[in-house]
Structure 1
Amino acid sequence: MSNALAIATVTQALALLIEHNLHPEIDMAVSVETRKPPAEPELDPKITVFLYQVTHNPSMRNNDLATRAADGTLLKRPAAALDLHYLISAYGEENELVGQRLIGSVVRTLHEIPVLPKELITEAAERPYLGGSDLAESLQRVRFTPTQMDVDETSKLWGMLHNTPYSLSVVYQASLVILDGHEKPVPAKPVKRPDVRVLPFGAPGAPERPSADVPERPSAGAAEAEPERAEEAGKRAEEAPPKGADETGERAEEARKRTGAKPTTDVAATTNVRSTVAKAASGGGARTEKKAGPKPRNTGSRPRTRKAAGGTSGSGSASRSKDTGRADHTGRTDDAGRTDDSGRTDNTGRTDDGKES
């Protein structure tokens, strides 16, 4: 923070910075002047420091918009953040390249010491025309940064200098220079005694009770207990058997009893048990009834003898005898007569010699 003399102080301090760092490369007397380039070419070694533009710093421009209250009371001291643009030119004997030697010294100095030293600001403020400058007390330091300009921009810059021939020069930007206003805000009154009151809802001066539509925030204890409840619910869900598990187990056990299968625990066996249950439900009753009845068996021997008579087979060429009491599941009986399942009886009295009675 500084007053209105900060701009001129920076210009004079920059000239002192260049002048104090010319040696040992430059072994000649060089004058450093804070003015615009001369209209006539100079033969004596000279460096001019010309402030050709002052702009507001874009990053700090809106830093102090709200400086006053609604009633006009000053809340914050206004401050203007500025950037200074300098054109530094060098003159001298062209045959000895004095101008180029001087520009080289300027570039080396500002690259080595980019921040304006405080002692040079104090020395510059000793000038009679800069008395009262407080830039040295400012906390904000001024930094020099080179500005890149092409031929077109350089031509426009030198075109603003009427009747001034072009000379070898460099352009630098100095930032940040802050200019404070004259007025100072009235300091706030200190707190003498803190006043803290606790009033129930409905008391005079107490705030209104919050409406029921506004959801209440859970307390710290409820927020801590919520994860525990969720964990307990997850454990109960893992321990509880799945829906229909008991019914499926009973059906599987019943199917194992019917089929005589051994209990299985793998997934494939469980699938087979379920298929067996489904098949038993569809056709198990009929199969059970068939298996329940005893299968008739032959109680006697069945010797068969065949005699060839005349070498041909026919109704009377072969004799066949069948044992009595033979019965199969069709209900057919061969004893002196043949009875089949249709109820037909053959009472022809066929004998083994092929004759019929």
Structure 2
Amino acid sequence: MSNALAVATVTQALALLIEHHLHPEIDMAVSVETRKPPSDPPTEPTITVFLYQVSHNPSMRNSDLVTRASDGTLLKRPAAALDLHFLISAYGEETELVGQRLIGSVVRTLHEIPVLPQELIEEAARRPYLAGSDLAESPQKVRFTPLQMDVDETSKLWGMLHNTPYSLSVVYQASLVLLDGHQKPVPAKPVQKPDVRVLPFGAPGAPEPGGVAGAPEPGGVAGGAGGPGAAPPTGAAPTAAETAGAPSGESRPGAAKRATNAGATSTARATVAKAAAGGGARAAKKAAGDGSTGARVAKSAAPSARSRARKATGGNPTDGADRKRGADHAREAGRAEDSGRRADDTGRADGEGRGRADGGKES
């Protein structure tokens, strides 16, 4: 940031930069002047530095639009961002190509040192007509960039210079020059009275203990409202289960906790008994199924025995051996059929009895 003298300071510092870096290529005395090209070209070696245009920087022109509050209070110090356009021309004896030698030295210097050095800005500010310039204190550096101009643009530029003959020249742009406003915003007031409050849990405006509403207490069982292990709501009257069996002098939360633990134990025992009853019923059904299977096997074996008896006799009652073998097969078939009936009756009775017993336990 700098004041309004920054534009003139950059022009003078640019002239000093060119003058200090003419040697060793230029071994003659050269006059570097900060003025527009003369209408009568000089014959002595001369370089003119002419600021022909000042424009607002397009990327920074809207950076400080909001500078005041709605009541007119200055919030931000305004700053104008400018680009400076310089026309640098060279004059001298044409037969010795002095102008071309000077232009070569200018291009070499600005390409080698594109940023304006701080010591040259301070030297330029020591001129009497630039006293008070604070460009050297600005953190924003000024950089020189060459501009390419075709023949049409060059003729227009020199056409603006009335009665001035064209001379060999180059054009450079200097960016960025910031011009500060006179007014400075009032600094914000420091904190005079800190307001820090410490509230215990339960006080108005204090956070609830536990962090999340409805979260289970440590060691408790998470559940819905009214579910097993759910904590009683705050402010609710103690139930009979909470107060039953509580010793004298015991607090209500302790009795409620003991009642909750007793209820959880009873629920666990009922669950175990129900699982055992279900296992007994399944075992009875399996036994009944095994009895039925045995009866079916016996029944299927009886017809096979009878058929073997008929085949043994072959319908010939005179053969004693055949008749004996047929009698044996018939007795075997009769015993198999009787065993099947008994196994069937026993399995059916056993299954019915166990089913009734298990049903009574479950109820």
Whole-angstrom CA distance in 1 between matches of 2:45 and 2:171: 19
CA distance, structure 2, for counterparts of residue 59 and residue 197 of structure 1: 47
Query: Are 2:60 and 1:63 aligned?
Result: no
Instruction: State the partner residue of 1:188.
Output: 188
Q: What residue is the counterpart of 1:3 in the other structure?
A: 3
1:9-158 map, 5 Å: 9-158=9-158
In structure 2, distance between residues paired with 1:53 and 1:38:
18
Q: Which structure has the bigger radius of gyration?
A: 1
Comparing both structures, which one devotes a greater share of its residues to helix? 2
**1:199 positional shift:** 8.9
- Amino acid of the residue matched to residue 116 of structure 1? L
Q: Which 5+ residue runs of structure 2 have no aligned equivalent?
A: 216-302, 304-363
State the distance in 1 between where 2:95 and 2:159 align.
26
**Per-residue deviation, 1:164:** 1.2
Alignment of 1:307-346 (within 5 A): none
TM-score when scaled to structure 1? 0.57
Report how far residue 191 of structure 1 moved. Answer: 0.8
Gaps of 5+ in 1: 210-219, 226-293, 295-357
CA distance in 1, matches of 2:199, 2:154: 73
SS at match of 1:43: coil
Distance in 2 between the 1:74 and 1:30 partners?
49
Shift in alpha-carbon separation, 1:221–1:21, aligned structure 2, 3 A: same
Q: Structure 1 runs of 4+ off > 3 angstroms?
A: 196-200
CA deviation profile, 1:37-89 (whole Å, cap 9, x unmatched): 11122211100000001111111111111111111111111111111000001
C-alpha distance in structure 1 between counterparts of 2:195 and 2:164, whole Å: 72
Deviations 1:148-196 (A, max 9, x none): 1111211111111111111111110111111011111111111122224
- Identify the residue that residue 217 of structure 1 maps to in structure 2: none
Partners of 1:40 and 1:188 lie apart in 2 by 59
SS in 2 for 1:84: strand
CA displacement at 1:97 relative to structure 2: 0.7
**Distance in 1 between the 2:7 and 2:145 partners?**
16
SS of 1:183 mapped into structure 2: coil
Q: Please provide the CA RMSD for this pair.
A: 4.1
Indicate yes or no: 2:172 matched with 1:176.
no
Shift of 1:198: 7.5
* Offset of residue 221 of structure 1: 8.6
TM-score by length of 2: 0.56
- Equivalent residues, number: 242
